[in-house]
């Protein structure tokens, strides 16, 4: 059951697609105290949710802020990352979910100030609050009800489940061709190469540098012959430059965000001074979205939207003030306080809250103009929506890859997200692991982190361990920052072993794609904490570095340098699979309880759950050449098990066609029964009795 409570005059975020009339009563469970919604938490009861956030799967014990922020060096003590996902589930005798549909600055103090108190504080009391309860009182059912309310998660093309290589630093066509050639030479599969800002002319959106990429259409076609898709970046800020058509049209039509006096707001990003399209204005959104057509026409079928918190390096006005003040300090004796002041002036130039309070949106539809900070968390959502709506118009029958850096709930219908700039740190690998189920709860199914880490120099073993986890995440992209150690798989001394791990991804694809599609089509989670499947097991509730992936698998990644094994907790008997790549699946039945499992650096482990099976294909050079007409099966039938496999052509959108589904049954004596309109040979390669 879902109940909606409206406070003040909320901005229509369009996060929710279901029509739910506002309830007249008062919001249960919570009291309203000093501008906050307050609730006493039961001792030991977990709190889940918040999507892209720091810390654990159980969010108790910290203060989290919804304030989309560009923060590449985030730590455990950070309060806000690139997205704002205001959905929480509160455990206890009667678990329930709460979605605060409020696009401004919002804090969730979850047992931080007082251990037993949840305190939710919005900057203004203009919000819709949805209370979500499930008949069975279970978390998965609460998630499903919430997800039904916010609409179907984005479905990418199948090729976007392949491995992608990215780096801020591929300067020209020759660099891109080299990456493709070296992957092919090394015999490592590859489905995508990402183009970062250097492909553009002077960092201008929707342009292609003539000098560096003289024939992008030709390059894209050549790459497609190799089964590789080019995926260019699009940034939020539009460079101010006479003669640049996007700038000139935006000015002429009045489509940029404006300051109080109506002048377009000037902030700086990669190209220097820029204007920010008013993504909340439907006409401006359509205008910006249709600009992607130029690249689509060049044979591009995937994009990543960046800097859309929006990140602002400095505003023109603030920069001038800072220059004046710094000049006035010249020649002075800078003691501790003055020196700190000087540093403070420079260090607060970027993403300054005052700047976010200095410009406005014109949302149309009879709505008054709104100051940016009140709707800050909607910017990246609406930039991606601009693209998503345009793709619907331009390519109604084709799936286009789209993922964004910034997001709000609602954006999950238009694209995926990557988890923003991270660092080549073991702690960020662990954060990637813990974020996956929280993102599933909030509808962001197509997601992954920059594998091997974006900032800082990676190490070979971190790259290995991160890829070993990354083969399970829907977005599997290796991305790094300019100036850091090069981390393409073929760069490392043991490229062969890394290659084998990447090949394994393709063996897992029939299962991963099937589970992704079923999760999207049925509003289910793709990744889940153990506690969701084993609610009666108090030990399962403690585990945060093991995850369930779909119905059959439990993952237990190694996230520690120099570790050659790890402890795992099994809530029930499971089948341990140890592998270093295709054709190497060592299976062993393990009993419920705690175990130490050796995991050599070149290996990974995962578990097949009791009563489940895992279909595997042979590996492939890319998704297009994957042959799923013959599947191997690893099964733990426990008296007989059955798996419903979803598959389709990977580009069209008739997901509900029943011919997409087939059923694999394995009985305890190993006999296989297959039913489906697609011809398939099923071979049991391991059966656990």
CA distances from 277 to 286, 386, 409, 571, 614 (A): 11, 11, 21, 51, 46
Q: Which residues have a Cβ under 8 Å from the Cβ of 113 and sit 6 or more positions away?
A: 63, 119
Residue 144 burial (CB count, 10 A) = 17
Q: What angle do CA 419, 421, 423 make, to 5 degrees?
A: 110
Helix/strand/coil for 386: helix
Name the token pair of 12.
């229509």
Give me the least distance between CB of 168 and ligand GLC, in Å please.
4
Give me the least distance between CB of 169 and ligand GLC, in Å please.
9
Say if CB 453 and CB 462 are below 8 A apart: yes
CA distances from 287 to 205, 234, 298 (A): 13, 15, 19
CA distances from 551 to 312, 610, 665 (A): 42, 10, 15
- Residue with smaller CB distance to ligand GLC, 191 or 306: 306
- Residue with smaller CB distance to ligand GLC, 485 or 595: 485
**Chain centroid to CA 487:** 21
- Residue with smaller CB distance to ligand GLC, 12 or 483: 483
Give me the least distance between CB of 83 and ligand GLC, in Å please.
13
Give me the least distance between CB of 172 and ligand GLC, in Å please.
16
Give me the least distance between CB of 305 and ligand GLC, in Å please.
10
For residue 404, cis peptide bond before it (omega within 30 degrees of 0): no
Give me the least distance between CB of 453 and ligand GLC, in Å please.
12
Give me the least distance between CB of 372 and ligand GLC, in Å please.
20
Pairing state between β 584-590 and 593-598? unpaired
- Residue with smaller CB distance to ligand GLC, 306 or 603: 306
Q: What angle do CA 590, 593, 596 make, to 5 degrees?
A: 70
In whole angstroms, give the CA distance from residue 433 to residue 439: 11
- Residue with smaller CB distance to ligand GLC, 29 or 313: 313
Give Rg (Cα) of the chain: 25
Sign of CA dihedral 585, 586, 592, 594: negative
Q: Which residues have a Cβ under 8 Å from the Cβ of 608 and sit 6 or more positions away?
A: 552, 553, 574, 575, 577, 587, 614, 634, 635, 636, 688
Give me the least distance between CB of 70 and ligand GLC, in Å please.
7
Give me the least distance between CB of 351 and ligand GLC, in Å please.
13
- Crossing angle of helices 282-290 and 245-253, in 10° steps, is 160
- Residue with smaller CB distance to ligand GLC, 332 or 347: 347
- Concatenating the DSSP letter of every residue in 435-485 gives HHHHHHHTT--SEE-EET-SBS---HHHHHHHHHHHTTSSSEEE---TTSP
Give me the least distance between CB of 198 and ligand GLC, in Å please.
8
In whole angstroms, give the CA distance from residue 315 to residue 273: 8
- Residue with smaller CB distance to ligand GLC, 59 or 479: 479
Give me the least distance between CB of 403 and ligand GLC, in Å please.
11
- Residue with smaller CB distance to ligand GLC, 120 or 192: 192
- Residue with smaller CB distance to ligand GLC, 407 or 619: 407
Helix/strand/coil for 463: helix
Pairing state between β 229-235 and 630-636? unpaired
Give me the least distance between CB of 464 and ligand GLC, in Å please.
22
Name the token pair of 421.
């700039």
- Residue with smaller CB distance to ligand GLC, 160 or 197: 197
Sign of CA dihedral 309, 315, 319, 321: negative
Q: Which residues bind ligand GLC (CB under 6 A)?
A: 168, 196-197, 233, 306, 405, 421, 479
- Residue with smaller CB distance to ligand GLC, 197 or 525: 197
- Residue with smaller CB distance to ligand GLC, 194 or 492: 194
- Enumerate the β-bridge partners of residue 476: 163
- Residue with smaller CB distance to ligand GLC, 194 or 513: 194
Say if CB 437 and CB 547 are below 8 A apart: yes
- Residue with smaller CB distance to ligand GLC, 108 or 270: 270
Give me the least distance between CB of 197 and ligand GLC, in Å please.
4
Report which residue's Cβ sits closest to ligand GLC.
168
The H-assigned helical ranges of 186-291 are 216-225, 245-253, 282-290
Say if CB 326 and CB 342 are below 8 A apart: yes
Name the token pair of 190.
């590859």
Residue 584 burial (CB count, 10 A) = 12
Give me the least distance between CB of 84 and ligand GLC, in Å please.
17
Say if CB 603 and CB 556 are below 8 A apart: no
- Residue with smaller CB distance to ligand GLC, 82 or 265: 82
Give me the least distance between CB of 71 and ligand GLC, in Å please.
11
Helix/strand/coil for 297: helix
């Amino acid at each position: 059951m879902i109940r909606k409570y409206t406070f003040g005059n909320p901005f229509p975020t369009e996060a929710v697609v279901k029509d739910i009339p506002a309830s007249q009563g008062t919001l249960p469970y919570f009291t309203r105290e000093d501008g906050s919604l307050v609730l006493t938490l039961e001792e030991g009861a977990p709190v889940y949710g918040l999507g892209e956030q720091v810390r654990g799967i159980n969010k108790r014990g910290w203060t989290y802020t919804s304030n989309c922020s560009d923060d590449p060096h985030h730590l455990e003590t950070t309060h806000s990352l690139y997205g704002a996902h205001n959905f929480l589930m509160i455990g206890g005798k009667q678990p329930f979910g709460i979605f605060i549909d409020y696009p401004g600055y919002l804090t969730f103090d979850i047992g931080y100030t007082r251990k037993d108190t949840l305190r939710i504080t919005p900057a203004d009391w203009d919000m819709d609050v949805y209370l979500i309860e499930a008949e069975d009182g279970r978390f998965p059912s609460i998630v499903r009800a919430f997800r039904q309310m916010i609409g179907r998660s984005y479905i990418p093309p199948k090729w976007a489940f392949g491995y992608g290589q990215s780096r801020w630093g591929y300067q020209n066509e020759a660099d891109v061709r080299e990456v493709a050639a070296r992957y092919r030479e090394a015999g490592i599969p590859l489905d995508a190469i990402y183009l970062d800002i250097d492909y553009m002319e002077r960092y201008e959106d929707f342009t292609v540098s003539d000098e560096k990429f003289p024939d992008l259409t030709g390059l894209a076609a050549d790459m497609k012959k190799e089964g590789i898709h080019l995926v260019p970046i699009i940034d939020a800020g539009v460079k101010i430059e006479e003669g640049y058509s996007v700038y000139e049209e935006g000015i002429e039509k009045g489509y940029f965000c404006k300051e109080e006096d109506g002048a377009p707001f000037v902030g700086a990003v990669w190209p220097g001074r820029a204007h920010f399209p008013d993504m909340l204005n439907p006409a401006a959104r359509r205008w910006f979205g249709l600009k992607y057509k130029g690249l689509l026409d060049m044979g591009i079928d995937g994009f990543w939207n960046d800097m859309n918190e929006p990140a602002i390096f400095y505003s023109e006005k603030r920069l001038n003030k800072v220059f004046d003040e710094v000049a006035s300090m010249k020649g002075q004796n800078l003691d501790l306080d003055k020196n700190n002041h000087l540093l403070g002036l420079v260090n607060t130039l970027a993403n300054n809250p005052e700047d976010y309070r200095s410009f406005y949106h014109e949302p149309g539809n009879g709505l008054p103009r709104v100051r940016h900070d009140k709707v800050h968390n909607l910017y990246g959502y609406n930039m991606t929506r601009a693209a998503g709506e345009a793709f619907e118009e331009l390519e109604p029958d084709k799936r286009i890859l789209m993922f964004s850096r910034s997001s709000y709930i609602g954006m999950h219908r238009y694209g995926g997200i990557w988890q923003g700039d991270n660092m080549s740190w073991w702690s960020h690998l662990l954060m990637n692991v813990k974020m996956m189920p929280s993102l599933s709860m909030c509808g962001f199914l197509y997601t992954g982190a920059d594998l091997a880490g974006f900032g800082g120099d990676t190490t070979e073993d971190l790259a290995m361990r991160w890829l070993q986890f990354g083969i399970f995440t829907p977005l599997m992209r290796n991305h790094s920052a300019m100036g850091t150690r090069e981390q393409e798989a073929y760069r490392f001394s043991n490229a062969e072993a890394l290659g084998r791990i990447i090949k394994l991804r393709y063996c897992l694809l029939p299962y991963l794609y099937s589970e992704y599609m079923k999760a999207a089509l049925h509003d289910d989670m793709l990744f889940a904490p153990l506690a969701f499947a084993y609610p009666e097991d108090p030990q399962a509730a403690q585990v945060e570095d093991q995850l369930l992936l779909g119905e059959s698998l439990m993952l237990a990644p190694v996230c520690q340098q120099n570790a050659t094994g790890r402890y795992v907790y099994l809530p029930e008997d499971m089948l341990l699979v140890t592998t270093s790549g295709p054709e190497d699946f060592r299976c062993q039945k393990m009993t419920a309880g705690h175990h130490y499992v050796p995991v050599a650096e070149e290996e990974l482990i995962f578990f097949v759950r009791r009563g489940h099976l895992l279909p595997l294909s042979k590996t492939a050079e890319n998704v297009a050449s994957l042959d799923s007409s013959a599947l191997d099966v690893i099964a733990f039938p426990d008296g007989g098990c059955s798996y419903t496999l979803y598959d389709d052509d990977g580009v069209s959108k008739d997901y509900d066609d029943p011919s997409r589904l087939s059923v694999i049954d394995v009985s305890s004596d190993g006999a296989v029964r297959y039913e489906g309109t697609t011809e398939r040979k099923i071979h049991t390669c391991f059966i656990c009795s």
